[in-house]
């Protein structure tokens, strides 16, 4: 026989319903997705900033170590490794950049006052950021098209379409002078 005491006991029982569990799982999935996206964006930003820093240092050091004294005559990738301008492995071979491409440095043309730094395999979503931020160190930036001159230390974001491929990796080529 069911008494009022039995009904009150049943009502006081507590537990989690399937709907409450489902809502909790949905909220947890949304939070996890947001954290994953934030992590990916942070990793991309870090990679871009690391490459900008490395490219800027290579150009600056090349100007200081080579450009000021003798010009760029004889400058090539091997000399860049020997002078510690380019990243190298412990065995003295050229190290790959963070995009798994091997950069290179060379005399540009016949004059000894201009050099180029090539940085290959830059992903399409990072190319524009790198080109815009390293351009102040260069006199021209090239990628998929003709070199874009750097005017007053900048290139326009409209020039990025002539530099970066929107569908695949791009090798950026920075041309820079002795000073």
For residue 88, what is the domain's CATH number? 3.30.1690.10
- Per residue in 82-123, pLDDT tens? 888 888 888 878 888 888 888 888 877 666 788 888 999 899
Distance CA 143, CA 163 (A): 4
Which residues does 102 contact at the CB level (< 8 Å), separation at least 6? 94, 95, 96, 120
- Whether 99 maps to a domain, the answer reads yes
Helices 18-62 + 124-134 axis angle, to 10 = 40
Looking at residues 46-55, what average pLDDT do you find?
Answer: 90
Distance CA 106, CA 114 (A): 9
- Whether 9 maps to a domain, the answer reads no
- Whether 4 maps to a domain, the answer reads no
- Whether 1 maps to a domain, the answer reads no
- Whether 73 maps to a domain, the answer reads yes
**In the predicted model, what is the mean pLDDT of the chain?**
84
Strands 104-107 and 148-149, bridge-based pairing? unpaired
pLDDT at residue number 29: 93
Instruction: Answer whether residue 178 shows pLDDT above 80.
Output: no
Q: Determine the structural domain holding residue 157 and report its residue range.
A: 15-177
Distance CA 16, CA 79 (A): 70
Residue matched to tokens 């798994």: 100
Which residues does 171 contact at the CB level (< 8 Å), separation at least 6? 101, 118, 119, 120, 121, 122, 143
User: What is the pTM for the complete model shown?
Assistant: 0.74
* % of the chain exceeding 70 in pLDDT: 89
Coil, strand or helix: which one is 88?
A: strand
Looking at residues 76-82, what average pLDDT do you find?
Answer: 85
Looking at residues 61-79, what average pLDDT do you find?
Answer: 80
Looking at residues 29-39, what average pLDDT do you find?
Answer: 88
DSSP state of 9: H
- Whether 6 maps to a domain, the answer reads no
Distance CA 47, CA 100 (A): 12
134 CB-contact burial (10 Å; exposed 0-12 / middle 13-18 / buried 19+)? buried
The rounded Cα 40 to chain-centroid distance in angstroms is 12
Instruction: Answer whether residue 28 shows pLDDT above 60.
Output: yes
- Whether 142 maps to a domain, the answer reads yes
- Whether 26 maps to a domain, the answer reads yes
Total domains present in the chain: 1
């Amino acid at each position: 026989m069911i008494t009022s005491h039995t009904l009150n006991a049943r009502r006081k029982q507590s537990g989690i319903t399937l709907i409450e569990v489902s809502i909790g799982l949905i909220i947890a999935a949304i939070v996890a997705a947001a954290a994953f996206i934030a992590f990916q964006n942070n990793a991309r930003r870090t990679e871009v900033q690391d490459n900008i820093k490395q490219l800027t240092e290579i150009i600056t050091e090349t100007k200081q170590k080579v450009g000021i004294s003798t010009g760029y005559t004889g400058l090539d990738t091997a000399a860049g490794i020997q002078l510690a301008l380019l990243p190298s492995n412990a065995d003295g071979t050229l190290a790959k950049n963070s995009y798994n491409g091997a950069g290179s440095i060379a005399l540009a043309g016949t004059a000894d006052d201009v050099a180029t730094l090539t940085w290959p395999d830059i992903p399409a979503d990072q190319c524009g950021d790198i080109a815009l931020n390293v351009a102040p160190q260069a006199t021209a930036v090239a990628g998929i098209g003709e070199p874009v001159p750097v005017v007053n230390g900048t290139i326009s974001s409209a020039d990025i379409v002539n530099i970066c491929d929107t569908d695949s990796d791009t090798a950026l080529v920075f041309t820079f002078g002795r000073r």
